[in-house]
Structure 1
Amino acid sequence: MSESGLTWRHALGVGVVILLVCYGVLRWTTAHGHGLPHMSWFLLVTIVLLSIAVISAGAEVRAYLHGTSTRPPSPQRARRALVAAQACVLAGAMIAGWFGAYALIELGRLDADSAFGNMVQAAVLCVASVGAVVTGLVVQGWCRIPDDKDRDKDRDDDSHGGGPLHA
């Protein structure tokens, strides 16, 4: 992970790896007579609610950093918002990879009765998961403290004398 946090490249890498692994496993299991796991529309509700929770956690930090709120969030709360955003990126990428693989397997079985409906459901869940990735990346950006050249100058001045240590 870079100093600036997770990027879309991290999410894409995780998503592609999971897609390839899951596609191979699902292809192997269906070729050996096993059925695909059951999906539920409840997963869509869960993904959307988790994305909303991450947005609301980051909104307080964003409001303070943009000057629209005078009450600073606690450091623990800001850290939790950042960690939740990064977890949303990684989890969304993994879930998108899983449902992408599921949709690809169903695409190859369109002659079956339920394959089209399952493929559409998997595609919708994959798109929702990509939305969770975007949500996490946006909220992570909200939690980034803007660069302040004056602060860096003060930090350099403080390093010659006493004062707090800076990492």
Structure 2
Amino acid sequence: MTENGVTWRHATVVGVVVLGVVYALLRLSVSRGNGLPHGTWFALVAIVLLSLAVLAGGWEVRAYLRGMSTRPPSPQRARRTLVAAQACVLAGAAVAGWYAAYALVEAGRLSANSALSGMVQAIVLTVASIGAVAAGLVAQGWCRIPEDKDDDSRGGPGDPGGPVRA
């Protein structure tokens, strides 16, 4: 993680690694005659609600930082919002990798009756998971405290307001 937090590059690495590992494991399982695990549309609801909750928490912090709200969030709540946003990025990337791998395996089995519906479901869930990554990145950005321009002008030679040194 960088000083800027979790980035889209982190999410991409997580997603690609999970996609590769899960694809290999699912292909191995199918080649041995096992069926694929069944997905559920409830996962879509969970992913969307998680994304909305992270955005709502981030919006509260953003509103305060931009002066649109006079009620400051507690430091603990702001920290939890930031951590939730970062977790949403990484978890969304991992889930997107899982469902993308599932869709790829189903694409190779389109001759089976259930493969098309499973593939469509996996594609929809992959897109929703990428949306969760985006929601987490946006909320993380909203939690960023703007740099204080007053601090940049302090500490020059002869400036009595410079930093205290021990």
Query: Is 1:74 matched with 2:78?
Result: no
Q: CA deviation at 1:159?
A: 3.0
User: Closer, same or farther in 2 for the Cα pair 1:20/1:42, shift >3 Å?
Assistant: same
Summarize the Cα distance change of 1:53–1:122 in structure 2 as closer, same or farther, 3 Å threshold.
same
**1:142 Cα deviation from its structure 2 partner:** 0.1
% identity of equivalent residues: 65
The runs of 5 or more residues in structure 1 that have no matched partner are 163-167
1:72-128: CA deviation from partner (whole Å, max 9, x where unpaired): 111001000000000000000000000000000000000000000000000000000
Alignment of 1:126-137 (within 5 A): 126-137=126-137
Number of aligned residue pairs: give it. 162
Give the 5 Å matches for 1:1-167. Answer: 1-153=1-153, 157=161, 159-160=163-164
Task: Give 1:59 deviation, angstroms.
Answer: 1.1
Partner SS, residue 15 of structure 2: helix
Structure 2 stretches of 5 or more lacking a match? none
Calculate the TM-score normalised by the size of structure 1. Answer: 0.92
Partners of 1:154 and 1:59 in 2: how far apart?
32
1:153 deviation in Å? 4.3
Distance in 2, Cα, partners of 1:22 & 1:161: 54
Structure 1 residues 154 and 77, CA gap change in structure 2 (3 angstroms): farther
| Cα distance change of structure 1 residues 34 and 76 upon mapping to structure 2, 3 Å threshold | same
Q: How many angstroms does 1:148 deviate by? A: 1.5
TM-score (norm 2): 0.93
- 1:147 is displaced (CA, Å) by 1.1
Match of 1:165 in 2: none
SS at match of 2:67: coil
Tell me, in whole angstroms, the C-alpha distance in 2 between the residues paired with 1:154 and 1:56.
Answer: 36
Distance verdict in 2 for CA 1:155–1:42, change over 3 Å:
farther
- Taking the aligned partners of 2:65 and 2:155, their CA distance within structure 1 comes to 20
Where in structure 1 do 4 or more consecutive aligned residues deviate above 6 Å? Answer: none
Deviation of the 1:151 alpha carbon: 3.1
Distance 1:129 1:36, change over 3 A: same
Change (3 A) 1:50 1:2: same
Distance 1:155 1:134, change over 3 A: farther
- How far is 1:24 from its partner? 0.3
Tell me how far apart the structure 2 counterparts of residues 73 and 154 of structure 1 sit (CA, whole Å).
Answer: 29
Structure-1 separation of matches of 2:155 and 2:41 = 52
Show CA shifts across 1:126-148 (max 9, x none).
Answer: 00000000000000000000112
Quote the Cα distance in structure 1 between the aligned partners of 2:37 and 2:124: 16
